[in-house]
Amino acid sequence: MRTPAMILGLTLAFLYFNGAHSATITFRNNCPYTVWPATLTAAPKPQLPNTGFELAAKATSLLDVKVPWTGRFWARTQCSKDNLGKFTCATADCRSGQVACKGNSHGIPASIVEFLIAEKGGQDFYDVSLVDGFNLPVSVAPQGGSGVCGTSSCPVNINTACPAELAVKGSNGSVIACKTACEAFNQPQYCCTTQKCQPTKYSKFFKERCPLADSPPNDDQASTFTCSGGPNYLITFCP
């Protein structure tokens, strides 16, 4: 006769050996204002049950992600509902009209955290990416795991130094986001459409301020971090 403990053990063993486990993503908002984190799962997998939520200043929230998983997280700022109940954000809006993004991607500019989380025992890849511009400081750090497992981050507020030609301004005239030069000018030398992509003063602007982040137009190889052993992750806004 199988006891409850035996049944639990068999269930856990089944889940483990069939890859049905998850990584816990902790979101921490160290900003002095509310943000609205959002999620996007890469096709063909379905979206996570929670694709957008409110996170007050100094609050934390947990999200379990079944692995393997590939996708991204970001935070929207200055969000509100209009008289008809339509939800919109001043930066990184996913244009769903709701707090949940439901598979919609972010508007540009946006600071992004990208993941490729492996199955049990595999190697994860992750980074903070500014390839789509910047709207707020962010970092991602593994919790547990083995290997190098470094922290990828853009901890400075790039908006305070954003060149005027890249700046996105809010209703009060303050800079609330910073575009990439590709987004601002749509020219080959800034969008890396030629065979050789040379640094520009704009790419250097982002890289000098956030050397541990993937900077525009693209430096994935230099800025992608790895960690093995099934770690969990902490994403901090305004680290």
Q: What is the spatial distance between Cα 62 and Cα 49, in angstroms, rounded to a whole number?
A: 13
Phi-psi region of 160 (alpha: psi -120 to 50; beta: other; left: phi over 0): alpha
The pLDDT assigned to 10 comes to 36
What superfamily would CATH give domain 21-157+211-237?
Answer: Thaumatin (2.60.110.10)
Q: 188 pLDDT band (50/70/90 cuts)?
A: confident
The domain locations on the chain are 21-157+211-237
CB hemisphere CA count around 75 (13 angstroms)? 29
Burial of residue 180 (CB within 10 Å: 0-12, 13-18, 19+) is buried
- Tens of pLDDT, residue by residue over 83-96, are 999 999 999 999 99
- Tens of pLDDT, residue by residue over 71-87, are 999 999 999 999 999 99
Task: Let me know: does 131 contact 105? Beta carbons within 8 Å.
Answer: no
Q: 189 pLDDT band (50/70/90 cuts)?
A: confident
